[in-house]
Amino acid sequence: MSLDAPTPPVPEIPTEGAPAERRAEIARLLEEGAWAEGFERWAASTHVTAAEWTVVRELQLLGQFAFFWDEFADRVGYHAPGLPEDWRERAIHPDVTSWETVSSINAGLTELGQSVSETLKAEYITWESSYEPPSDLPEF
């Protein structure tokens, strides 16, 4: 399955968390094409439907993505937005009427975050992690 949708705007990188230098660099790399490439890869194979994508856009969930440099794991981490567990009580959107829809949207957004994260690390990031584990760790 795939989703025929234009690439949405790049989400803003939150100001808290990772060092400012890495945040700014990740934001620049997303703007330079990592977001678009990751989105296109994701859209080519996602199970998110056009109707579900409309919900994502109308609820402005994409602006809630966060990408950050995880020094210890030498990777780009991310926090994907999602629909809350109390979606039914809150009546968050008229087209969100089943757990299947909620699950599909939440899984799809997680997969989008993973796609963008992997694209950043594989094709855009040139720095290496400077983390060195302590040398006195016991061996198992």
Q: Give the mean model confidence (pLDDT) for residues 9-20.
A: 75
- 57, part of any domain: yes
pLDDT at 137: 65
Residues 6+ apart with CB under 8 A from 50: 3, 4, 5
Q: What is the pLDDT of residues 30-65, one digit of tens each?
A: 999 999 999 999 999 999 999 999 999 999 999 999
Do residues 91 and 102 touch, judged by C-beta distance below 8 A? no
Domain extent, residue 102, equals: 20-124
- 45, part of any domain: yes
In 3D, which of 104, 108, 127, 99 has the Cα closest to residue 29? 127
Inform me whether the pLDDT recorded for 125 exceeds 70.
yes
Q: What is the pLDDT of residues 86-111, one digit of tens each?
A: 999 999 999 999 999 999 999 999 99
pTM across the whole model: 0.88
- 110, part of any domain: yes
Report the share of the chain in percent with pLDDT over 90.
74
- 41, part of any domain: yes
Q: What mean pLDDT value characterizes the chain?
A: 90
Do residues 70 and 77 touch, judged by C-beta distance below 8 A? yes
Per-residue pLDDT band at 140 (split at 50, 70, 90)? low
Q: How many domains does the chain have?
A: 1
pLDDT at 70: 84
- 132, part of any domain: no
- 11, part of any domain: no
In 3D, which of 58, 63, 15 has the Cα closest to residue 35? 63
- 138, part of any domain: no
Crossing angle of the two packed helices 50-58 and 99-119, in degrees rounded to 10: 80
- 10, part of any domain: no
